[in-house]
Structure formats: C-alpha cells, structure tokens
Chains A and B, each alone.
Chain A
Amino acid sequence: MKIVGTSKPRVDGAAKVTGQARYADDLALPRMLHARILRSPHAHARIVAIDLAPARATPGVLAAIVGEDLPVAYGILPWTEDEYPLAIGRALYVGDGVAAVAAIDERTAIAACAAVRVEWEKLPAVLSPAEALAHPEIKVNEHAKDGNVSKQVDLSFGPVDENLERAAAVIEGEFHFEGTTHAALEPHCAVASWEPRGELTVWSSTQVPHYLHRALAKVLQLPEDRIRVVQPAVGGAFGGKSEPFDLEFCAAKLSMLTGRPVKIRYTREEVFYAHRGRHPMHMRFRTAADAEGKLLAVDSSILIDGGAHSSFGLVTTYYSGQLLGAPYELPAYRFHSTRVFTNKPACGPKRGHGSVQPRFAIECQLDELAERLEIDPIELRRRNAMGSDETTINGQRVGSNGFLQCLDAVERASGWKEKFGKLPRGRGLGVAGSTYISGTAYPIYPNEMPQSGVSVKLDRSGQVLVTSGVSEIGQGVETVLAYIAVEELGCELAAVRVITGDTLLCPVDLGAYSSRVTFMAGTAAIEACRAMRAHLVEAAAKALECDPSEIELAGGRASARGRELSFREVARLAESAKGTLVTAGGYRTRKVGGEYRGGSIGASPAYSFTAHVAEVSVDERSGVVTVENIWVAHDCGRALHPIHVMGQMEGSAYMGFGEALMESHTFHANGLHRGPSLLDYKLPTTLDTPAVHASIVEANEPGGPYGAKEVGEGPLHPSIPAIANAIHDAVGIRLRALPFSPDRVRAALLAKGGG
C-alpha cells in the first residue's frame, strides 16, 4: 500500500487546530438576522392562546412564527413522522419550541421572545415509562397508535425455553440505564438564506445533510430541486445531529418571510432539550449456559423511555435485541422490547445506538456465569466466540471476525492472568466484549439508489477533487477519501482536495450514522478512483510506450521501464485523450439480514469486534470508583489511518467511562432537567480520565475498502460492563444501575455488609 496504513496529518486538521475551520456559527452573511425559539417551561401544557403582537412590536423584530405556520409533520423515519418544528396545540416537554422570532440581533430576538404572551393550561405529565403505560389517557404523542406505546418488538430465535430448562446455570437480573446525552462541543447552529430565484440554502451543523434536505422540502413544501443543504465543519455530533431539528426549519421559514438570511444557534441548555441521546432502558435479563460455560439462551425484556417523539426509536427498539447474536455463538434468544413516549426530550441515537445498554446487561451476566461456573471470564468468552464466516441465530452474516485476537490482546496487555482475582481488596480487573455494525443494510427510506456516491474530478492542473455528500463530523472521512485518491491515483496527498456535505455540489451520501461512512463512502471512492485511474494508466502507457499493466502510479509520478512522467503530465495527457475527466462511484446496498419483519435491522455488510479490560480501584469508605486503566482492543479490519483508529478507540472508551461513572440525563418530578449545563451534567475531565491503551486488531473484511470495517462506535460498548465487572473483582459487589456514583457504590457495599 502507498498511504493506507500510515498516519499522515488529517486534511482538515490544521484548519481546526488553528481556529480557521468555519463552523456554522462562524458564518455571517450580509443583512443576516438572528432568531430565537421560545420554549415551553412546562412538561405538558396546552397552548390556550399565543400572542405574538408584543414581540412583533419590539423594535428590530422582523418576523415571528408559531407552530401553525409550519403545520407539516416530519420525522427522521418515514414510518414515524410525529413532530413539528414548533409545537401545535400542546407543548410536550420542557424545552419544546412554541414560537420563533427573527430580529436584527440576538439580544433583540431574546427580548422579543420574552415579550411573547403564551396562555398555558398545564396538563398532567408522564415522566417515566411505567407512568406512561399506566396512564394511556395522558397521551403524550398524538401519533401513537396505542396509548403511549411508541414501538413494541417481540422476536424469538431458537428453542429458548428448552435451553433455559436444561441449563446448568441461569443468571437473572434487572439492569437500569438512566440515559445520557452526546454533549458535543459545538451546539447546534443553522443559517438559512432564501434567495430571489426561489432557492433556499441552509448551512447547518448536521451529520445528515441529505435527510435534512428531504425534510426541509417536505415541511416547507418546496421542491427538492430548489434546496441546498451545506454542512460546514462540525464540532462533534455522536448521533446528536443525525436528524432535522427545529432551528433548521425555523431559520428557513423566517428567511422566506423576511427575504434575509437568518441564523439560529442553540444555547447549551437548548442542546439538552434537543437531546436524542441514549435511551433510558430498564432491562430484565436471563442468561443461561451449560456446565462448560457454553451459552444456551438469553431471554430479555426491556422497557425503553423514548421521550416525546419517535426519533429513530423504531430502530432503537429493534437494536435493543438485534445485536445480541454476536460475538458469542448463541443458539437461542428472545427479546421483548417496548419503547414508550414520555413528557421529556426525545431520545435517539448516541454512539452505539440501542445496543450499549443491553451489552451492559449481558456482559455483566457473562461475568456472573463465569463466577458461578468457576471459569475465568476471558476463557468463558473464548469458549463462546462464534468465529468468522458464520451466521447468527437471527440471520446476520458475520464475515471477518477478530474477536479472539481482541481478547488475547487485552488479556496480555492488562496482565490479566497475574492480576484478575489476585489484586489486593479495593482493586480489580473486569473484561467485556462486543460487536457492532459497519453501516446498516438499508437506507432509512426504502429506495434502490446508491447509499453513498463519490465523484472524482481531475484536470490539467494535476489537482484532484473528491466530492461526496458524506459528513465530516470529526471522524476523519475527508482524510479517508483523500487517502483513497492517493492510493489509487498515485498523486501526492497535497494535490487532493475534498468537498463533503454539500447537497448541491456532491453526489448523495446518506450521512454519518451507524458507522457506515468509511465502509460505504470508502467503497464508493475506490470505485470512482479506479475509473479515473484507468484513464491515467491508459494515457501514461501510451506516452511511455508500454503495456498499461506495467504502469506504476505512485508518489506523484507515473513510471514504467525506468521512465517516468509527473502526475500533472499524465493528467494533461489523459485530459487530451479522454476529454474532461470526471468519474463516479457508488456503494449499493447488499442483500443481508434475516427473512422476517425487522430482520434487516442490525444486519450489516460487516461487523467489528471489541474487547476491553478495565482496572479500577474502589475507596470503600467513600464509594468513589477510580478507573485506573482501560485496555481496548478493536478489530476494525484494515486500519486505513491507525492514529485515527486509535483516536476513535480512545474516544469511545472515554465516552463509555463517563457514562459508567458520572453522566446522568435525568429530570425532576416536574419534568425539569436536573442539570442542562456542562457544569451540572458531569462529563469527565482530563484529570478524571484513565490511561487508555489501544491495540488495533486487523481481521480484514473482503467486502470493505482495503479490508476496513468500522471503528467509530463499536469500541464504546464494553466500557460500562468492563468497569462494572472490575468493581466486582475489586470489592465483590454487582452494580446493575448506572451511573456507578459513589452513593450507589457505598450503598451496595453497606448492603453487602462490607464498607
């Protein structure tokens, strides 16, 4: 390989570290207005009357709108379009938008929002799934078919009851995950500009420009061919920007009304209300094994708190069970998952969508099984590893599989054999494993078109332009696309420019979610670059009077038989011979998944694998848990850019560690968020963060670009259970509710009679 497998500085790195990258909030257009969204202070309330006159009368205000001005429902999934840009009739949670005001500056917009008179009729609110199910008459979401049930999934594979019956050990337990949010550094921001020809441009901090494009057309009732969505540099997303939000519609509508560009930027508090973070889940699990520790069955029942809207919840409900079939060979399992609407901000996808919570439960139960059967926890996982080229009981085709190497790597690196069960009291080690998808099998809206498109343009300057609608959200896709151009065309990295996230200039890509980007856009880029390469090879062979197979393209040169041409000369020859040089590639959906309703969810063209070992110390007097080390090994197939891969592994481990020990997206009984700020919502600081030791495992995937699979989300999954299991090794308690805060740890120690 020429560049794949090396770690060059990322193509957008210098701009980001010098402050020159342009984020949405850096954009300022001539005559631009600023808008604010007035939000509900109540968890559930009827809007009896709303009077915009005082806002409109505020000097400097140019337009104000309410829910009825944008009456078309939307939703990221076409089956559950159940939200409006601004509340119509009822506000469903604290922070639900009810009006928007555009003014000459932000302070004026804020003052005008405060002047809006809303007459509220407070309604009873339901704040937990149990409450919501007990009170179907308090209907949160009018689109729900049955009371407050958002989605219910019952799937069963293999002889679950028989296997439970014949098991040597069955572990039963209830686990509770209270919910966390993404907390990306950049708050959401959008700028919209309605232009005189009847064209709308929206710049937004989104990770799904294409879906935003479609939603804007639907809600604003504009033809799709008049809308352009541009995604500027994004300061982190983690799933929190993977669907349309109120600010994009409101900025667009207010721009259409005023004929001037309009910017809306969230406060940090508004980011907490936009949320779409990890769902709270209450999980009952039974995990059964034979006397040798071979898994026989898993039986789970999960109650999911969805908040007020569906978001991706239909998929979340499936994911809560569909990804349990690997990395262990599981002959039988079933899950019964119910997602419920509540009067809180909607939950959605966060790094490791829907599967981080059940992974916590099952990996803790594997640890309990190992203890019960007196088998080393790593050995128990080894005995159950499914291996490569297998199909899970729920019909998912697993290709390459480096899980065993991952277990070996963390076992070795952590000194497991010397330390597990042998450290002084108060210190312990825990292990956990996981798998994750490299993209979903199917697009969010059914269609036969490519999921990812990439175009390559080359001209006589020797400059290569790669474009794709894919989203750079910090994961490094622009660098990956540039790498592929260098690998295939032999140009220098500096000669490649990449444009992403612009629905006008770039071929369609569905966005940065479900760890699909490198796999799908990378595959499309290879196809586009190879088509371009064919032109170059042909032109070079002609000039160098040799067979095309003899041409080597590398280092900014074409060479054969000791003669060479510069890349620029080759480009000129090719453009002379072939005319304008533009090529394209696309990733097309491959048929995968089980033949049953929901069988495509969790089905992916490739699966990544991860193992963690965490080392903790527990202060038994205070209950404070300190994570000392996390060893993480991840099979991402071929590591295209090893430093990026390790960055994703470290970032994932960090994020999971924060969720394990500190983070809690929770609410007071009146529906007010307990801490909608980065002071009160506890994210670990650098001082809190353990040493994270990353080892890359490369089980190359034949279907992936140069053998690559995902790394953005998978490595998070084992974080929480590895820490839980390490706490058990340290002090002998099993924690089943997150986060593992000192009060809970201390209470568990006292209950056990220690401490």
Chain B
Amino acid sequence: MLPLPSCAVSFPETIEQALELLSRPGARVVAGGTDLLPNLKRGLGRPSALVSLARLSGLDAVARDEHELRVGARVTLAELARSSLLPASVRYAASLIASPQIRNVATIGGNLLLDTRCVYVNQSPLWREGLGHCLKADGTECHVVPTGKRCVAAASADLPPILVALGASVRVASKDGVRTIPVERLFSNDGAAPIALGPAELLVEVVIPRAPGTSSAYRKLRVRKAIDFPLLGVAVAVDAEGGLVRALRVVASCIGATPRKVSGLDSIAVGKPLDDATIEAVAERCHGALHPQTNIAADVGWRRAMIPLLVTEALHDVRDAVRTRGGDDGTA
C-alpha cells in the first residue's frame, strides 16, 4: 500500500476562510482529491497544508438564467453527468470520466484544474529516480522532447475541451475580489505549471453561455470503456443559422500542456452546410494542426490517425441538429 504523506488539512466553512488559509505559502486546495491525492502519494507536489473544500457551504449548485448556466466548482462529476440543465455534450463528457465511484467525489473544478500527465512523471519516486527525474518533477531533462526546455506533459482532462468549445469562463475568487476569465485562459503552456492561477486564488464557478444556435459534441479515445484518462479528447461546437455554419470550433486535449483550439476553421466552414465535404475538410485541417506527443501510453501514430476520425464523429453527432434546427444546446 502507498500511504499518503502526512500533511495538515484545514476545513474552512466560508470562501473567505478558504482564501485566508490559501494565502499561506505552499497551501493547496483539495476538493474530491481524486487527482491530487494519488499524486501526493507518489511524491508529486509537497504542499505545506491542504485546504479542503469539503465543509464549505455553497459552490455546489447548477443554476440557469436566460443568458448563462452557472455551475459551482464543487459540483461533482456525477451530478454534472445527470444535470438536465447542462448541454448534453458536457453531461456526456462528465459521464466518461474515470469510474462511478470517482465521479461521486471528483468535482468540475478539480477536473478543470487537473494536473497535466506524462508517462515519465505519473510514477513512483523509485521509478522517477531510475529515469533521472524530469522537468515536471525534480529534474532538468525532458524525456519526451530530449532537447526541450519546457515541459510538455499533456492536458488530460475531459471537461476543458468541451467547455472551451462552448466559450465557457470561470469565476476566480481572491482577496482582491472575483475575476472572470475564459476557460481557455486558465491554462499555461508549461506542463510543469499548467494552471494559470495565483496560489491564493480559488476557482468558484464555471459559467457556460446559453447559445440556442450552438450544437456541441465530445469524443474520447481510450483503451477501456471506463477508468482511463483520454488518449485524445475532441470537442466540437458549431453555431449555425438556417442550416449554415456561422462558427465552428474544435478543441482537443492530450496534445500538449493546454487544450488546443484548432485555428483556421472559419475559412473552411463558415457559410457552408455541415455536409460531408465540410466535415472532411475540417477533419483534415485538424489532422494537420494537431501533433500528439509520445508521452501518453498509446502508439503516437495511431493517436494522430484518430484525430480526423474523432473530429468527424463529433461533427456527425451535431450534424442533424445543425441541419434541422440551426442549433441545439441540449438543455431541457
């Protein structure tokens, strides 16, 4: 058995208390703990103290008004998967994460802030010692890109691609107040420090704009039908009117340290029906734009070859909605 290293844990009941505790050097937030605790057991991260959100009141509701959906950071993935207020694509992405037991405790906030992953770092101290350590943990070398100076550990969470595609944002609290940033700006391109938040900031809410003309879908590549992190995650969102594409976004995970939004799709798709030719052109563009690394344990050539397949499947998922109703955000 791998014991958890000893660490002080505090249980604030208000956001103010939590922010106060987080202002201490080396403190870290723990919500469900399903990502953090296994990493701590392996000596990845050595917080001075943990600030648990378990007894916090609030941040646990899904609410909707005519403009947006607001999801508290502590809403569990299980709740997310069954909330009829949310777009079907988000519910589906949440339902694919890990296992039922983990989804019962893991949170939307935790999934957004999931640490990047790499076959060379998500290992025991013994293993990493044998490797000679790496840029992400205790070392100076990258074993994925041998000459690389920046860590390329992969963004491996399922929710960021779909939330970025939907134009979602997060509300982040600190002692200075609450700021709102787009989800795509939550991430840094350095796999060793992948979350672009300050140490004393607390993600409190996810805001998803309601867009009646938008259809979205998510596709996940993995070996098993449960438990596994994605080998590739592809989200698409299509704004349409009268059966014609107004905007089309494709966002992929497991490519690099951040979810990757594929550029140059507007010129391919905008103003066109989402027919086979358009879908093929989009898939081809994505194939050309996205380059998986070897730091995920599946053949990299195969993963790359699966990009156009997943993009095509995801676009097929939304094609009917685009054609018939112009869009469908999947909410009740």
Residues of A within 8 A of B (CB): 25, 39, 41-43, 94-95, 106-107, 110, 114, 187, 265, 267-269, 621-623, 662, 670-676, 679-680, 682, 684-688, 741-743, 746-747
- Least Cβ–Cβ distance between A286 and chain B, in angstroms: 31
B122 cross-chain contacts in A, Cβ below 8 A: 680
Q: Which of A107, A682, A688, A741 contacts B299 (CB 8 A)?
A: A741
B178 on the interface (CB 8 Å rule)? no
Which residue of B has the minimal Cβ distance to A189?
B1
**A670 touching B223 in the complex, CB below 8 Å, given contacts A107-B3, A187-B1:** no
B297–A622 touching, CB < 8 Å = no
Does B226 belong to the interface (CB within 8 Å)?
yes
What residue in chain B is nearest A662 (Cβ atoms)?
A: B223
Does A743 contact B224, Cβ atoms closer than 8 Å? no
Q: Which residues of B contact A (CB under 8 A)?
A: 1-3, 5-6, 119, 122-127, 129-131, 223-229, 297-299, 301-302, 305-306, 309
Choose among B3, B297, B306, B309 the residue that contacts A680 (Cβ–Cβ < 8 A). B297
Instruction: Give me 19 A-to-B residue pairs in the complex whose CB atoms sit less than 8 angstroms apart, sorted by A's number.
Output: A41-B126, A41-B127, A94-B127, A106-B1, A106-B3, A107-B3, A107-B6, A269-B126, A672-B127, A672-B131, A674-B119, A682-B223, A684-B224, A685-B224, A687-B225, A688-B225, A742-B302, A743-B298, A743-B299
B1 near A267 with CB under 8 A, answer yes
Give the chain B neighbours of A107 by CB distance below 8 A: 3, 5-6
- Among A41, A95, A741, the most chain B Cβ lie within 10 Å of the Cβ of A41
Of the candidates B3, B225, B228, B306, the one whose C-beta lies within 8 Å of that of A110 is: B3
Given the known inter-chain contacts A741-B299, A743-B302, please indicate yes or no for A41 contacting B227, CB distance below 8 A: no
B297 touching A674, Cβ below 8 Å:
yes
CA gap between A684 and B306 in the complex, in Å: 21
Which residues of chain B are near A684, meaning CB under 8 Å? 224
Measured CA separation A25–B3 after assembly (Å) = 14
B129: A residues at CB distance < 8 A: 41
Q: Smallest CB–CB gap between A328 and chain B, Å? A: 35
Cα distance, A101 to B193, chains bound together (Å): 36
Task: For the A-B complex with A95-B126, A672-B131 known, give 20 more contacts whose Cβ atoms are closer than 8 Å.
Answer: A39-B126, A43-B130, A106-B1, A110-B3, A267-B1, A267-B2, A622-B306, A662-B224, A674-B297, A675-B119, A676-B123, A684-B224, A688-B226, A741-B223, A741-B298, A741-B299, A743-B298, A743-B299, A743-B301, A746-B302
Q: What's the Cα separation between A267 and B38 when bound, in Å?
A: 13
Q: Provide the residues of chain A in CB contact with B5, threshold 8 Å.
A: 107
Which residues from A are CB-within-8-Å of B224?
662, 682, 684-685, 687-688
Q: In the complex, what distance in Å separates the CA atom of A682 from the CA atom of B164?
A: 30
Enumerate chain B residues within 8 angstroms of A680, measured Cβ to Cβ. 119, 122, 297
Contact between chains at A685 and B223 (CB < 8 Å): no
Q: How far is the CB of B123 from chain A (nearest CB, A)?
A: 8
Cβ of B254 to closest chain A Cβ, rounded Å? 15
Roughly how many angstroms separate A563 CA and B226 CA in the complex, as a whole number?
A: 62
Given A671-B130, A687-B224: A746 in contact with B1 (beta carbons within 8 A): no
Known contacts A621-B309, A623-B302, A680-B297; decide if A94 and B223 are in contact (CB<8 Å). no
Question: Which residues of A sit under 8 angstroms from B301, Cβ to Cβ?
Answer: 743
In the assembled complex, how far is the CB of residue A254 from the closest CB belonging to chain B, in whole angstroms? 18
Nearest neighbor of B130 in chain A, beta-carbon distance: A41
Chain B hits for A623, CB < 8 A = 302
Question: Which of chain A's residues has its CB closest to B308's CB?
Answer: A621
Give the 6 A-B CB pairs with smallest separation, nearest first. A743-B302, A41-B130, A743-B299, A687-B225, A41-B129, A685-B226
CA distance in complex: A110, B43 (Å): 12
Interface of B is mostly: loop
User: Could you tell me the distance between the alpha carbons of A409 and B126 in the complex, rounded to whole angstroms?
Assistant: 51
| Bound Cα distance from A267 to B3, whole angstroms | 9
**Chain B residues with CB under 8 A of A679:** 227-229
Please name all residues of chain B whose beta carbon is closer than 8 Å to the beta carbon of A39 when the two chains form the complex. Answer: 126
Give CA–CA (A743, B309) in the complex, Å: 14
Residues of chain B lying within 8 A (CB to CB) of residue A95: 126
CB distance from B314 to the nearest CB of A (A): 14
Tell me whether A94 and B306 are in contact (CB under 8 A): no
How far apart sit A95 and B123, CA to CA, in the bound complex (Å)?
13
What residues of chain A lie closer than 8 Å to B225, measured between beta carbons? 685, 687-688
Chain A residues with CB under 8 Å of B119's CB are 674-675, 680
Among A110, A676, A679, chain B packs the most CB atoms within 10 A around the CB of A679
Q: In the complex, A680→B156 CA distance in Å? A: 14
Please tell me if the beta carbons of B309 and A622 are within 8 angstroms of each other in the complex. yes
Residues of B within 8 A of A743 (CB): 298-299, 301-302
Q: Chain B residues with Cβ under 8 A from A686's Cβ?
A: 226
Considering only CB atoms, which chain A residue lies closest to B127 in the complex? A672
With both beta carbons as reference points, the residue of chain B lying nearest to A687 in the complex is identified as B225
Of all chain B residues, the one with the shortest Cβ separation from A674 is: B297
Chain B residues with CB under 8 Å of A268's CB are 2
Q: Would you call A265 and B298 a contact (CB within 8 A)?
A: no
Chain B: CB-nearest residue to A664: B297
The smallest C-beta distance from B206 to any residue of chain A, in angstroms, reads 26
Q: Which residues of B contact A622 (CB under 8 A)?
A: 306, 309
A696 to chain B, nearest CB (A): 30
Least CB separation from A269: chain B residue? B124
Tell whether A746 pairs with B305 under 8 Å between CB atoms, given A106-B3, A672-B130.
Answer: yes
A383 CA / B302 CA spacing, docked (Å): 42
| Nearest CB of chain B from residue A626's CB, rounded to whole Å | 10
Q: Could you say which residues of chain A place their CB within 8 Å of the CB of B229? A: 679
In the assembled complex, which residues on chain B have CB atoms less than 8 Å from the CB atom of A746?
302, 305
**Residues of chain A lying within 8 A (CB to CB) of residue B223:** 662, 682, 741
**What residue of chain B has the Cβ atom nearest to residue A746's Cβ?**
B302
What's the Cα separation between A230 and B125 when bound, in Å? Answer: 33
Known A685-B227, A741-B299: A670·B131 in contact at CB below 8 Å? yes
* Residues of the B chain whose Cβ atoms lie less than 8 Å from the Cβ of A25: 1
Residue of A nearest to B38 (CB): A679
Closest B residue to A187 using CB positions? B1
Q: Is the CB of B130 within 8 A of A94?
A: yes
Q: Determine whether the beta carbon of B3 is less than 8 Å from that of A269.
A: no
User: Which B residues lie within 8 Å of A675 (CB)?
Assistant: 119, 297
Residue of B nearest to A109 (CB): B3
**Chain A hits for B305, CB < 8 A:** 746
Which residues of B are found within 8 Å of A114, using beta-carbon distances? Answer: 125
Query: Quick one: which of B1, B2, B126 has the most chain A CB within 10 A?
Result: B126
Q: Which residue of A lies closest to B99 (CB)?
A: A685
Bound-state CA distance A450–B123 (Å) is: 47
A670 touching B299 by the CB < 8 A rule? no
- Complex Cα gap A623–B301 (Å): 13
Interface pair B306/A42, CB less than 8 Å apart: no
Which of chain A's residues have a CB closer than 8 A to the CB of B309? Answer: 621-622
Residue of B nearest to A113 (CB): B126
Closest to A114 in B: B125
**In the bound complex, CA of A259 to CA of B73 (Å):** 53
Instruction: Return chain B residues, CB-CB under 8 Å to A674.
Output: 119, 297
A672 to B127, CA, bound (A): 7
Which residue from A621, A676, A682 sits with its C-beta under 8 Å from B127?
A: A676
Complex: how many Å from CA A106 to CA B3? Answer: 8
Tell me how far the C-beta of B306 lies from the nearest C-beta in chain A, rounded to whole angstroms: 6
How far, in whole Å, are A106 and B305 apart by their CA atoms in the complex? Answer: 46
- Interchain CA distance A165-B41 in the complex, whole Å: 62
Minimum C-beta distance from A308 to chain B (A): 15
A269 to B1, CA, bound (A): 9
Q: How far is the CA of A42 from the CA of B130 in the complex (A)?
A: 6
User: Chain B's nearest CB lies how many Å from the CB of A47?
Assistant: 15
In the complex, chain B residues whose CB is within 8 Å of the CB of A265: 1
The smallest C-beta distance from B133 to any residue of chain A, in angstroms, reads 11
CB closest residue in chain B, given A750: B305
Contacts of B126 in A (CB 8 A): 39, 41, 94-95, 269
Residue in chain B with minimal CB distance to A267: B2
Q: Which chain A residues lie closer than 8 Å to B299 at the CB level?
A: 741, 743
Distance from B242 Cβ to chain A, minimum over Cβ atoms (Å): 32
A672–B301 Cα gap in the complex (Å)?
A: 22
Inter-subunit contact B127/A269 (CB<8 Å): yes
Distance to closest chain A CB from B326 (angstroms): 29
Q: For residue B129, which residue of chain A has the nearest CB?
A: A41
CA distance A267 to B226 in the complex (A): 23
